[in-house]
Structure 1
């Protein structure tokens, strides 16, 4: 895989994570509805881009790596945000809102991957879903690999993915299971794109129709992959593909942009900490407009100040980069075995790969 192509994928990840942050700011302008048509499918497609067939030679290693890159940040950062949330809630409200046993139960649920912390829910379902998607896709590939006929093998993979897609749409399993079944389809699409990219020409002629389709869909189709809700499911699938096409086209045309590449490489940090970063803007609004102090804890934003979404977006992208730097700096001062436990510095550039 050439460097130019990897640069374009990092740029696509950078654009995607910026859109994720904007989508969580409640612009009241309809921008978030457009973004929701495709932004999370785009991340799963980019994840599938890096799947390699040689993973089937060492499936246990693949699963262990998935645990390290997905489950570990889920738990470690989930606990970080849980304790930060407890501290902020106590300082502002004078109470944590948890009994001792209630807090222990919440911690256990985070460790088991079954709950998300305050100021982080939008990120953590993705980590859980991507782990399940990687497991399912590996299982399908291992199963189909027993068939020697290549055409039949590809057909079985497609049919398996399609069946999971339909099951995901028709069911509402807890813990992002149904969403993961649907996300598996996008992961598969990303893998297909990676294998056939030399035959795929991202034609600018299709750019305007693709943009128009996504914007048009946003007027009639309410989408939330995290909660597995859609007004028109088929429209969601098409708008996801169109939106991804637009981002990939733009990324390849940009070719090189160090800022977007860096943001793309740090997409995990931004995804995890952007909700927490919004609290700083909540604080500014509370102080400027003399709002009740508890409004600092509004999640994800204080919605009635519509044009503040621009500042929320900027801080939501930039502040997590500083938060990561602080965490990495602190962890370097810990004993080596603890630093290896936290894994933070190594994880961020590899989450999609």
Structure 2
């Protein structure tokens, strides 16, 4: 598979992933199943795109670029939505200073405390932290066995935290969802370490992933399995299935992405959505919540509005202005601040 096709199937995968995120957020009958793996897809893809860094200086530069590429749009969208919300509150003559202070603190703290219009924002800071921690581990520690051992230790810690939060009632979340990194780094590492397998997934692997995914769905539907999995709120129910289930579905959908590339029309639509997944992620909630104040509509329209309106805004407004491209897409002169070491990694929801 040449580089052009490889990049396109990755965009297709992100296009499918962002649709799955909107399906989950639309709260329909598929949400319980989609929530098992829709975020893991992006971490696996991001890990797949990670390129080894050969020195401390290059690592520092890479971290700086990753921070700018992800945090500039994060802060820009956060500020824009916050200004909009505060103006609405002021127009309603809501001058409750205590509420404004509490709300502002929550926005600064981020992570799990970002809800409503900001519900998906936790992902970006978690992704950035995952990339940085993995980059540091891979650059400073040359032994793959030790790298994997550290990531496994983090994975176990994630489940210890989940037990403390949900079984012991210790309600504390780390700032900017950095505690979720303990588990997401495992999916990121899978994408990197299994890059050769994922580049062109064999048919027997795709069939196995499909069969395994169907088994999980059937068992859950018949209440034989009770699998609960919510990355944002560190709700992990089974230390083995919390890896196997997201990965089996992810491999399945990556295989589907590689097959879809043969269909020009479908692949074009999905890759376009994939390239705009950052904007869609940030805006689908505030746009739908705004419209919901005036009319009530089905989950299908929630998904369509959440895809079409942000996509139109990116292509008709943001992409046409250099300043807006930098602020909301992390791009300079139409290109993201990347080099050979991190090409494509800034494409979210990645």
TM-score normalised by length of structure 2: 0.80
Cα RMSD, aligned residues only:
2.9
- Relative to 1, partners in 2 of residues 1:44 and 1:104: Cα closer, same or farther, differing over 3 Å? same
Inter-CA distance 6–236: structure 2 relative to 1 (3 Å threshold):
same
Q: Given that residues 37 and 218 in structure 1 are in contact (C-alpha distance below 8 angstroms), is that contact kept between their aligned partners in structure 2?
A: no
Instruction: Note the 1:55-70 alignment, pairs <5 A.
Output: 56=55, 58-70=58-70
* C-alpha distance after superposition, 1:29-84 (max 9, x if no partner): 2x001101111111111111110003646011111111112222221111111112
Q: Does the CA-based 8 Å contact 1:213-1:242 persist in structure 2?
A: no
Query: 1:86 maps to which residue?
Result: 86
CA gap 1:118/1:109 in 2 versus in 1, 3 angstroms: closer
Match of 1:258 among 268, 279, 288: 268
1:162 shift after superposition: 0.5
Does 1:34 find its partner at 2:33?
yes
Taking CA–CA contacts closer than 8 Å with sequence separation of 6 or more, which of the two structures ends up with the larger relative contact order?
2
In structure 2, how many angstroms separate the alpha carbons of the residues matched to 1:233 and 1:217?
Answer: 18
Is 1:351 the counterpart of 2:347? The answer is yes
Q: Does 1:246 align with 2:248?
A: no
> In the comparison of the two structures, how many residue pairs are matched?
317
Q: Aligned residue for 1:139?
A: 136
Question: Deviation per CA, 1:11-41, whole angstroms, max 9, x where unpaired?
Answer: 11000000001100111x2x00110111111
Confirm or deny: 8 A CA contact 2:33 2:217 kept in the other structure: yes
Kindly state the Cα deviation for residue 234 of structure 1 after the two structures are TM-superposed. Answer: 2.3
Match of 2:124 among 118, 124, 127: 127
- SS of the residue corresponding to residue 45 of structure 1 reads helix
Unaligned ranges ≥5, structure 2 = 166-172, 338-343
Judged with a 3 Å threshold, the aligned counterparts in structure 2 of structure 1 residues 323 and 111 are, in CA distance, closer, same or farther, namely farther
Which residue of the partner structure matches residue 212 of structure 2? 210
Quote the residue 1:309 is aligned against.
Answer: 299
Aligned position for 1:187: 188
Answer whether contact 1:167 1:181 (CA < 8 A) is retained: yes
Q: SS of the counterpart of 2:27?
A: coil
Report the CA distance between 1:324 and its aligned residue: 2.6
Q: Find the counterpart in structure 2 of residue 279 from structure 1.
A: 289
Q: Does the CA contact (< 8 Å) of 2:117 and 2:289 recur in 1?
A: no
* SS of residue paired to 2:26: coil
Counterpart Cα distance in 1 of 2:321 and 2:136:
36
**Structure 1 pair 282–342 and aligned structure 2 pair: CA distance change class (3 A):** closer
* Cα shift readout 1:260-306 (whole Å, capped 9, x = no counterpart): 001001110011111012125413425xxxxxxxxxxxxxxxxxx7x
In 2, the alpha carbon distance for the partners of 1:199 and 1:5 equals 9
Give the equivalent residue in structure 2 for 1:299.
Answer: none
Tell me what 2:341 maps to.
none
Superimposed CA distance per residue, residues 84-129 of structure 1 (whole angstroms, 9 cap, x where no aligned partner): 22234445xx144651x76467546645756866644332110010
Within 2, Cα distance between the matches of 1:116 and 1:321?
A: 27
Moved over 6 A (4+): none
